[in-house]
A and B are shown apart, each in its own frame.
Chain A
Amino acid sequence: MARELWEGNQAIAEAAIRVGLEAYFGYPITPQNEILEWMSKRLPELGRAFVQAEAELGAINMVYGAACTGARVMTSSSSPGISLMMEGLSYIAGTEVPMVLVNVMRGGPGLGNIAPSQADYNQICKGGGHGDYHPIVLAPASIQEAVDLMPVAFDLAEKYLNICCILIDGSIGQMMEPVELPEMRPVVRKDYPWAVNGAKGRPRRILTSIYLDPPEEEKTNLRLLKRWREAQEKEIRYKEYFIEDAEFVVIGFGTAGRVALSAVRAARAQGIKVGLFRPITVAPFPYKRLAELARQASAFLVVEMNAGQMLEDVRLAVNGSIPIEFYGRLGGVVPFPDEILSEIQRVAKAKLRADSDPIADWMKRMEMIAR
C-alpha cells in the first residue's frame, strides 16, 4: 500500500476497522474525538455497529455486552473518560472476555487539560479497576507503530481473554505522519467456546464476573494470573537504538521515547556513548532485558511525561545495581530534545550513586526550571 498522510486518531480508527472491528461504543472527549468521529462515519457505511453512548459508563458496558458475544469490539477515550470506565473494565477482566481500549492521555489529575501526558501509566499498567488483574498495555511512539499494533492488540486480547490497551498521548492522536495502513480484511466472527451468541441446539453458556464462593473466585484469579504469566513470558516488545556500545541508556515510552531519540542522536554526535531503550509493551514490562542492560551500562536515565511512574518498574528491573536518574515533565508539558540532551550530558559527567533518590534529585532541578 502507498504511504498516505494520516492524523493519528483517524489512522488508529481506520486500522481497527480494516482488521475486522465489528463494533465500537464511545463517548466524546478531547484529544481523541476524531476516533469516535471516524467510527461514526465508517462503521455504519460498512454495516457494522457504532453507538455514541450516553456516557462513558454506558459505552464500556456496551463493549462488555458485545465482547460476550465474541465480536471484535473496542472503545476509546481520554484520561478522565477512562477513569469513568474503570468499573466496566474490571467486570470485563473478571468475565475473561477480550476487548481493545485506546487511551489518548491528557494532562491531569481531575479535569486537567487537553495537552499530551503520560500520567495514566500506573492506572492502566497496574490493573485499572478493582480486583486482581493486569491489562496488556502497548505504547506506540508513532502513528505507523500504532497502526501496526492495532491487529496485535486484538490478537492479544483474544489470545489471553483480556483487555488490551493502546496507550498514547494527545500528541500522537493529533499529529500527522505518512502511514501505510493494512489491507481491508473481512470481518470474521470466531467460534469461541465461551461466546454467548444464541443457545439454540447447544447447552447454555454463562459469562459472569460474580463468584460468590471464594474458592471459585480464587480459581478464577489463578486462571487470570496464569494467562498473565504466559503473556509476560511471550509478549514482550521493545525497540532499541544505539544500544550495542552504549555506556548510558535512556529509557522512555511513547512520545517521551521518541523525543529522547532526538536527544540521544545529538549526544552521539558529541561523542557520548548513549543508547535508547523504548518499551512497546509497558505491561507486561521488559524487566529481563533491562536487567541485562543494567549489566552493560553504567547508568540509566528514565524520561517520562509524568512524575516517574515507569521509573518504579525500571528500578524493579535494575534492583539497585546501577544508578538511575529521572527527568519528567508534568501536567501536559512535552519535553524538548535539548532538555533531555542536557540531562544526558549531566549523567555522562556526574559521579552518580546507585542508592541516590532520583525523584528527590529531579525535583531539585525542577525547582530551577520553575524559577
Chain B
Amino acid sequence: MQTELILSGFGGQGIMFAGQVLSYAAMDAGKQVTWIPSYGPEMRGGTANCTVVIADEEIGSPVVKNPDVALVMNLPSLDKYEPLVKPGGMLVINESMVDRGARRDDITVVTVPCSEIAEEIGSIKMANMVAVGALLSGLKELTVADVEAALNAHMPGRHKHLLPKNIEAIHKGYEYARAHTVKAKG
C-alpha cells in the first residue's frame, strides 16, 4: 500500500510544515515515509510545494507526478495540481484563497475556508493545520489522533504552548471537511 500526497501553496502558508506533520505521524505509526520539498530559489510569497509518500514497504520514488491527494492552498496551486490528481483521488481546496471551485468530478473534492476558520480560532497562521485536518478526513492511512500524538511528540518545547490551538485547528478542519465533501462520481 502506498499513498502519495502533494501539498502546495504560497511560501509562508506553512505548507512544508504541514507535510512534515503528516510525515512525523506516518513515521510514528510505523510506516515508511518520504518528505521532499521543492527547494528552488523560492521566497515568501512565491509558490512552494512538498511531496509526501506514505508506504508499508521501502519507498522508491520520492517524487510523484500524479498524487492520490493534493492539498492546494492558493489558486496557482489549484490550477497546477487539479488536473494531476489520480482519478478517484482527493483534492483539498483552501476556499479562502481561490475564486473558483473544482472542475473535475472524477475525484473527491473537499472545499474548506482554511484561512477564515484559522482566523476564528485566533491566527491565520494556523490555516495549514485546518487544511491538515481537512485532508485527514479522507486519508485512510492516518487519523486525527495520530497527528495529535505526533505534534505532541515532536513539537519543540518552546512551541508547546501553541499546541492546543493547533489541535483545535485540526479538529475544526476535519469536522468542516466531513460536512463539505463531494465524493468522486462513478
Tell me if A174 and B61 are in contact (CB < 8 A).
no
Tell me if A259 and B34 are in contact (CB < 8 A).
no
Q: How far is the CA of A336 from the CA of B27 in the complex (A)?
A: 24
Q: Is A261 located at the chain interface by the 8 A CB criterion?
A: yes
Name which of B23, B32, B35, B66 has the most chain A CB atoms within 10 A of its CB: B35
Q: Is A258 located at the chain interface by the 8 A CB criterion?
A: yes
Q: Is A3 located at the chain interface by the 8 A CB criterion?
A: yes
Q: How far is the CA of A299 from the CA of B58 in the complex (A)?
A: 26
Contacts of B66 in A (CB 8 A): 338
Contacts of A338 in B (CB 8 A): 65-66
In this complex, how many residues of chain A approach chain B with their Cβ under 8 Å: the count is 25
Q: Is A114 located at the chain interface by the 8 A CB criterion?
A: yes
Given the known A-B contacts A3-B27, A5-B20, A5-B27, are A175 and B62 also in contact in the complex, defined by CB atoms under 8 Å? Answer: yes
Q: How far is the CA of A338 from the CA of B67 in the complex (A)?
A: 12
Q: How far is the CA of A171 from the CA of B50 in the complex (A)?
A: 12
**Which bucket holds chain B's interface residue count?**
20 to 34
> A176's contact among B23, B60, B63, by CB below 8 Å, is which?
B23
1/0 contact string of A241-278 vs chain B (CB within 8 Å): 00000000000000100111111110000000000000
Segment of B36-44, B72-80, B102-110, B158-166 engaged in the interface with chain A = B36-44
Tell me if A178 and B36 are in contact (CB < 8 A).
no
Q: Which A residue's beta carbon lies closest to that of B52? A: A176
Contacts of A358 in B (CB 8 A): none
> A174's contact among B32, B37, B41, by CB below 8 Å, is which?
B37
Contacts of B10 in A (CB 8 A): none
Tell me if A258 and B62 are in contact (CB < 8 A).
yes
Tell me if B20 and A337 are in contact (CB < 8 A).
no
Given the known A-B contacts A114-B41, A178-B33, are A262 and B61 also in contact in the complex, defined by CB atoms under 8 Å? Answer: yes
How far is the CB of B178 from the nearest CB of chain A, in Å?
28
Given the known A-B contacts A171-B36, A176-B20, A176-B34, are A261 and B41 also in contact in the complex, defined by CB atoms under 8 Å? Answer: no
Residues of B within 8 A of A (CB): 20, 23-24, 27, 32-37, 39-41, 58-66, 154
What would 13 more interface pairs be, CB under 8 Å, given A5-B20, A114-B41, A259-B63? A171-B63, A174-B39, A175-B37, A176-B34, A176-B35, A176-B36, A177-B33, A178-B27, A258-B62, A263-B61, A265-B60, A337-B61, A338-B65
Q: List 21 A-B contacts (CB under 8 A).
A: A5-B27, A5-B154, A31-B39, A114-B40, A114-B41, A171-B63, A174-B37, A175-B34, A175-B62, A176-B20, A176-B36, A178-B33, A255-B62, A258-B59, A258-B62, A259-B60, A261-B58, A261-B60, A262-B61, A263-B61, A336-B64
